[in-house]
Amino acid sequence: MKTSGLANTGKRISLLVCLSAWAVLHVNPAFAMDGQELFSHFKANRLEYEGNGKLQLFKWDIQHWIGNDTHKLWLKTEGDYAGDQGIFGRADLQLLYSRAVTTYWDFQIGARKAFEPERTFDAVIGFQGLAPYFFEVDGAMFITDNGNVLGRLDLEYELLLTQRLILQPRLELNVAASDINNRGVKSGIAEFEVGARLRYEIAREFAPYLGFDYVEEQSLLQHQHSIRFVVGMRVWY
């Protein structure tokens, strides 16, 4: 218990350091030519609504980076909010340092704070980039304070039906190396999501979409699968 308390303090400090660095970078204007110049990229990849019988879910998947070609601070948040019940089903925030290691790949390291369903705190090591054949990849390993290991892999692809009507198949895989009792996580594939979004880019930065996901979830308590239809929008600046 004592060691985990210390570890938590350490994590809180590192979170604070990361947050303040992010704030400083954000207010500091671009200061030099080429590689030194800072850019800031906010991207709400998915802001969507899922109506499923009585269930009214609002889901988000947002990323924001600030940095130059090589070094970036990267925020990621994902979660859902049940409008009918007024509760968050899932909500987490990742704060990562991202470094370009090859032409197409960034290595990322940082922390993830989950607020729902449990308050947890994990270390994150991941990679993000563009694989051959234009697959966008976001993969990460999460290490809990008890040393358990979880993994997540996100794959996206884009099919242009026209220059502005774009079909985006996606796949998300969540795995666990072992059972984690306090989180109800069963080892193996915890979640498997495959689906597609059909968006129309009114502007590059603004595209409403329709979509669906086939979801298979497995926990220590239950195993279920479902098809979910969503409507949403993709926004970035």
Partner 1 sequence: MLSSIHVQLTLGKFALFIAGFFFLVAPMAKAGSYHLIIAKHAINLVGDRQKAILANGVLPAPTLHWYEGEHVTLRVTNSMDNPTSLHWHGILLPYEMDGVPGISFSGIAPGETFTYRFQVKQSGTYWYHGHSGTQEQLGLYGALVIDPADGNHAADRDLVIVLSDWPEADPDRTLARLKKQSDYYNFQKRTVIDFFTDIKKLGFWETLSDRLDWGEMRMDPTDLSDVTGATYHFLINGHPPDKNWTAVFKTGQKLRLRFINASAMTYFDVRIPGLKMRIIAADGIPVEPVDVGEFRMAVAETYDALVEPEANKAYSIFAEAMDRSGYARATLTSDSRLKADLPVLRPRTLLTMADMGIAHDKHNSHNQMNMEQSAAPDQHQEHETEHTAPEHTHEHMMHQQHENQAIESHDVLSYEQLKSASPGPLFRNADREITLRLTGNMYRYSWSFDDIKYSDAEPLRVHLGEHIRFNYVNETMMNHPIHLHGLWQYLDNGNGSHNPKKHVINVKPGSRVSVDVMADAPGEWAFHCHLLYHMDTGMFRKLIVEKAGS
Residues that bind partner 1 (CB under 8 A): 32-36, 39, 41, 43, 69, 100, 103-104, 130, 132-134, 159-164, 167, 204, 236
Identify which of residues 34 and 223 has a Cβ nearer to partner 1 in the complex.
34
> In Å, what is the CA distance from 123 to each residue of 144, 194, 204, 230?
7, 26, 34, 31
Dihedral pair phi/psi, residue 94, rounded to 5°: -110, 140
Copy the structure tokens of residue 111: 């922390």
Shortest distance (Å) from residue 100 CB to partner 1: 7
Identify which of residues 203 and 221 has a Cβ nearer to partner 1 in the complex.
203
Using CA atoms, how far apart are residues 159 and 162, in angstroms rounded to an integer?
Answer: 9
Shortest distance (Å) from residue 32 CB to partner 1: 7
Identify which of residues 135 and 214 has a Cβ nearer to partner 1 in the complex.
135
Shortest distance (Å) from residue 163 CB to partner 1: 5
Identify which of residues 192 and 236 has a Cβ nearer to partner 1 in the complex.
236
Copy the structure tokens of residue 130: 């563009």
Using CA atoms, how far apart are residues 25 and 22, in angstroms rounded to an integer?
Answer: 5
Shortest distance (Å) from residue 6 CB to partner 1: 39
> In Å, what is the CA distance from 15 to each residue of 29, 53, 64, 153?
23, 39, 16, 24
